Amino acid sequence: MNENSILRGIPKVDEIISLLGETDAPKAVVREAVREVLKGIRESILRGERTKVPETESILKMAVQEMQKKEKMSLRPVINATGIILHTNLGRAKMGETVVRAVMQAAANFSTLEYDIEKGSRGSRYTHVEKLMVDLSGAEAAMVVNNNAAALMLALNTLAQDKKEVMISRGELIEIGDSFRIPEIIKASGSVLAEVGTTNKTHLFDYENAVGEETAALLRAHTSNYRVVGFTESPPLKELVSLGRKHGIPVVYDIGSGTFENLEKYGIYGEPTVRQSLADGADIVCFSGDKLLGGPQAGVAVGKKKYIDLMKKNQLTRALRPGKMTLAALEATLRIYLEGTAERDIPTVRMIADNMGILRAKAAALAGMIREKKADCAVETVEETSQIGGGSMPGQALPTVAVALRPNHIPVMELESRLRLGGTPIIARICRDRLLLDVRTLEESEFPVIAACVAQCAGGSADG
């Protein structure tokens, strides 16, 4: 049979739609799914991959699968079994029940976003979090924008626009991610980059010698996504502040991740807290809301009232302002810190704080559930290390416990793929030819789903 004869056997779109009958999917989705399935069959015949048209029943199954795929939300939940608490690709900080309820309330109702109930007139969206942020940080004032890069750019544009200089050590010219870099942010702010010192060593006299009439701000950027070790030096923040005071130049400190908690009690060192950065004299401190703070994506600027007020009046502020759901989530997160229940109610802090005893018990429970499901793989618990996040606290490894899976009849890469492509994607990591389910980033409520999925995915050949 020649190619054209085979192609003539492909059914019409309306014929397949009629055979599908009533479905829950919108008509447009059904039609598009059927068209794509038939187009795929046609193209595979033209490529010589098929020598006949599939049976009608097979085409109907393919159409149903395509409809289901099209109806899935692109942005949807996953189970994070990587052990990376602040996984940028997986949405960074996970929020707790209290915060989620606040977001749902803000989304489902009209709100006091910019309305002053007591005065019965227009209010400011910044009031919902400013006092809480001031109380927690010790700052004179605070404001929130949509991310930390925006907070930094707004601060620099406010202080040094019209081609004034922003001075920073060469060792702090960070690339944040996706090729967004401090030098480009400085340029976008309308200011001019003034580099001082070297990559590994910058002294106070480097700043002193470079200060001039055009210097509008001294910028310190905490290297929260990498470390330079060995023969290194940079002046303490207090010394940089003293230099700024001497010349009447404000100091901006971008601490990146941002935390109210002293993480040394968890064995983590070198991460500046918001309060200490302000106590050391920084005029403006910028940080993220969705990293170590454990809240929503946001950029926070705290510091001297005269500078924060100028930032609020900057025309860029409207373009960078946060929405009601961000503010609701951030307010709820800050209230948890004030109540002193961060270890219990903020998942990021709880995951960092979990000790090996807790993790061993969780791993044993998950491994037991997987064995009960008679999954076709070897199951054991192993002690490993995991990261807080690639963009937060690099090189700071946490001891952890994982359930290690070694499938009996399929490659470990195939098991990883099947779990990742499931109805609820399970994202894990492979180490020494084993699939690791790191329990540090798993909730016990997820264990039954994980066990069932492993049992379903571990058996059979790689061809399914």
Contact between 8 and 42 under an 8 Å Cβ cutoff? The reply is no
Mean predicted confidence (pLDDT) in 217-224: 88
57-66, 70-79, 309-318, 370-379: segment of lowest average pLDDT = 70-79
Residue 91, φ and ψ in degrees, nearest 5:
95, 10
- Dihedral (C-alpha) 273, 276, 277, 282: value to the nearest 10 degrees? 160
Question: Is residue 228 scored above 80 in pLDDT?
Answer: no
Q: What is the mean pLDDT of residues 211-224?
A: 91
What pLDDT, on a 0 to 100 scale, did the predictor assign at position 4?
81
Average pLDDT over residues 239-243: 97
Residue 311 has pLDDT above 80, yes or no: yes
Distance CA(349)–CA(353), nearest Å, equals: 6
Least-confidence region, from 30-39, 69-78, 234-243, 348-357? 69-78
Per-residue pLDDT at 462: 53
- Is the model's pLDDT at 104 over the cut of 90? yes
CA distance 191 to 162: 6
pLDDT confidence of 460, banded at 50, 70, 90? low
| Predicted pLDDT at 226 | 61
- Summarize the confidence of residues 26-31 as an average pLDDT: 90
pLDDT score for 391: 56
310-338 mean pLDDT: 96
Environment class of 429 (CB within 10 Å of its CB; exposed 0-12, middle 13-18, buried 19+): middle
pLDDT band, very low/low/confident/very high, at 459 (cuts 50, 70, 90) = confident
CA distances from 441 to 154, 332, 402 (A): 34, 22, 10
pLDDT score for 397: 80
Please state the rounded mean pLDDT for residues 64-72.
Answer: 87
pLDDT of 394 higher than 70: no
Say if residue 118's pLDDT is above 90: yes
Say what the pLDDT of residue 254 is.
95
Nearest to 234 by CA among 212, 213, 218: 218
pLDDT at 463: 46
User: Hey, is 87 helix, strand or coil?
Assistant: coil
The reported pLDDT for the residue numbered 107 is: 96
Instruction: Assign 244 to helix, strand or coil.
Output: helix
State the average pLDDT for the chain.
92
Beta bridge partners of 233: 201
- CA atoms lying within 13 Å on the CB side of residue 99: 28
Q: How far apart are CA 60 and CA 77, in angstroms?
A: 28
pLDDT mean over 126-153: 95
Cα 392 to chain centroid distance, Å, stands at 10
Average pLDDT over every residue of 53-79: 90
Question: CA of 117: how far to CAs of 21, 107, 129, 382, in Å?
Answer: 53, 19, 16, 55
**What average pLDDT does the segment 292-312 reach?**
96
pLDDT exceeds cutoff 90 at 83:
yes
23: confidence class by pLDDT, cuts 50, 70, 90:
confident
**Model confidence over 172-196: pLDDT tens digits?**
988 776 667 899 999 999 999 999 9
Mean pLDDT of 72-85: 92
Q: How far apart, in whole angstroms, are the C-alpha atoms of residue 303 and residue 283?
A: 5
Task: Report, as an integer, the average pLDDT of 125-133.
Answer: 95
Cα distance between the two ends of the chain: 31
pLDDT of residue 227: 65
Lowest mean pLDDT, pick from 93-102, 123-132, 381-390, 447-456: 381-390
Higher pLDDT, 199 or 335: 335
Confidence of residue 127 (pLDDT cuts 50, 70, 90): very high
DSSP 411-454: -HHHHHHHHHTSSS-EE-EEETTEEEEEGGG--GGGHHHHHHHH
* pLDDT at 464 (0 to 100): 39
- Domains plus CATH for the chain? 3-71 (no CATH), 79-88+351-458 (3.90.1150.180), 96-345 (3.40.640.10)
Q: What is the model's pLDDT at position 266?
A: 87
